């Protein structure tokens, strides 16, 4: 009790900074508009015919991961009502793609009064948390109301585990209210056990991100984009890049152009507020740059194609030959991003040496020779050049075999949720 009171006092102190960061206007970030009140538990009541499942997916990555699970739940039980919360407006934009399958609300800030306002309006039958977004007061209030809580697709990096160990008493109180933790890997389960979670609560389902479904529509859009780019041009994509990485990527592309004058780099900054910065950086480096949001700007002379849109990653990946995954060149700052999306589209990847947030997935891909580690412009350029020499049909086949080998997490998850 005391430790949660101290946590709430600390949250009260830092909440203004969190709110300022959340509502700060940024380029290409959808506005919250009048719905900002939902972060304070003031939200429209849910008027469905039965209590909904509440699924929380904090932002874009978790929302994308949740979508196949949501679709499968609705397919197996069309009458099942679902309310999805996100913290960010960019996450909300992803959930909007589900249309009438779900209702969306913004996640209330972790104050008891805000959580209770939300619970009184929604009255969920259970909560599914995507990955590991754990809030002490939220879990406590759901526990008091005997609402089951399951952490789905749970992952816990060594760094996060060590951070939780520093607040061991608080984590102990949180985990007591959790009914199940469905882990991506055995390593994740061991870390949760290390924090004191009862083994009976831990199950290993694999990652639901392995169950990526590339729709015919996305494949068709990818093919059309590739035709527009030029079917015979070598194309690589730098996905989810962070500040400090773009310079390395552009330098790598300059070296690639020395050998392949027709090569095209598609660069996809992780955060939309950086789109203009990356554009100016590319122009300053004397590349011929086109922006995806500028119609007809892409042509045969384009050297860098800036993907300044959101939610199109699978389309862009489907148009490329090779992927470099960002967030992996910044040491301990980020820890990489998920390599399963390029694998699902049938292309091999290159990543930097910092991938601790996705260690198990990356190491499995290394075992299957579907990813290469590189850190300098010379190494990245050489790795891209080497992968271009491989047979794309064979690579695609190996990617499909890999995804099939590790797939099935959604089916396992639904069985445990029953």
What is the average per-residue pLDDT within 352-375?
A: 93
User: What is the per-residue pLDDT for 28?
Assistant: 67
**Three-class HEC string of 112-153:** HHHHHHHHHHHCCCEEEEECCCCCHHHHHHHHHCCCCEEEEE
pLDDT digits (tens, 9 = 90+) for 175-195: 999 999 999 989 999 999 999
Domain 216-405: CATH superfamily is: Glycogen Phosphorylase B; (3.40.50.2000)
d(CA 397, CA 74): 31
Residues in Cβ contact with 36 at an 8 Å cutoff, skipping those fewer than 6 apart: 23, 106
Architecture of domain 26-212+409-417: 3-Layer(aba) Sandwich (3.40)
Instruction: Please say if the pLDDT value at position 30 is more than 90.
Output: no
What is the average per-residue pLDDT within 129-155?
A: 95
Asked if residue 354 lies in contact with residue 332, where contact means CB atoms within 8 angstroms, the answer is yes
Q: Do domains 26-212+409-417 and 216-405 have the same CATH topology?
A: yes
d(CA 108, CA 115): 6
pTM: 0.73
Greater pLDDT, 3 or 202? 202
Which of 38, 62, 131, 341 is catalytic? The answer is 62
Is 38 a catalytic site residue?
Answer: no
* Average of per-residue pLDDT values in the chain: 94
- Residue spans of the domains in the chain: they are 26-212+409-417, 216-405
């Amino acid at each position: 009790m005391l430790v949660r009171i101290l946590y709430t006092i600390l949250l009260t102190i830092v909440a203004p900074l969190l709110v300022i960061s959340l509502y700060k206007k940024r380029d290409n970030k959808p506005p919250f508009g009048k719905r900002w009140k939902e972060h304070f538990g003031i939200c429209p009541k849910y008027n469905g015919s039965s209590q909904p499942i509440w699924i929380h997916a904090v932002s874009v990555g978790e929302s994308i991961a949740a979508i196949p699970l949501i679709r499968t739940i609705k397919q197996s039980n069309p009458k099942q009502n679902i309310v999805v919360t996100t913290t960010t407006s960019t996450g909300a934009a992803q959930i909007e793609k589900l249309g009438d399958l779900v209702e969306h609300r913004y996640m209330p800030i972790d104050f008891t009064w805000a959580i209770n306002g939300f619970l009184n309006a929604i009255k969920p039958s259970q909560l599914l948390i995507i990955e590991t977004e754990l809030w002490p007061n939220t879990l406590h209030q759901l526990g008091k109301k005997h609402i089951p809580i399951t952490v789905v697709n749970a992952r816990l990096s060594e760094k996060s585990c060590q951070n939780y160990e520093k607040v061991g008493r608080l984590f102990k109180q949180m985990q007591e209210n959790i009914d199940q933790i469905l882990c991506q890997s055995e390593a994740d389960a061991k870390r949760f056990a290390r924090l004191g979670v009862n083994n009976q609560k831990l199950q290993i389902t694999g990652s639901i991100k392995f169950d990526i479904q590339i729709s015919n529509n996305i494949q068709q859009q990818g093919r059309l984009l590739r035709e527009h780019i030029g079917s015979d041009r070598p194309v690589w994509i730098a996905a989810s890049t962070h500040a400090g990485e773009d310079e390395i990527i552009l330098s790598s592309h300059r070296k690639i152009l020395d050998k392949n004058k027709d090569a095209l780099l598609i660069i996809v900054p992780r955060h939309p507020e950086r789109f203009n910065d990356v554009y100016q950086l590319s122009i300053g480096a004397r590349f011929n740059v086109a922006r995806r949001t500028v119609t007809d700007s892409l042509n045969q002379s384009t050297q860098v194609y800036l993907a300044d849109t959101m939610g199109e990653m699978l389309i862009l990946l489907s148009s490329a030959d090779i992927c470099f995954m960002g967030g992996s060149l910044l040491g301990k700052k980020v820890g990489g991003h998920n390599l399963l999306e390029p694998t699902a589209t049938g292309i091999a990847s290159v990543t930097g040496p910092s991938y601790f947030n996705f260690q198990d997935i990356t190491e499995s891909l290394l075992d299957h020779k579907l990813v290469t580690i590189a850190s300098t412009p010379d190494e990245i350029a050489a790795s891209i050049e080497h992968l271009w020499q491989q047979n794309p049909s064979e690579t695609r086949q190996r990617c499909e075999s890999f995804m099939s080998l590790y797939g099935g997490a959604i089916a396992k998850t639904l069985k445990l949720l029953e």
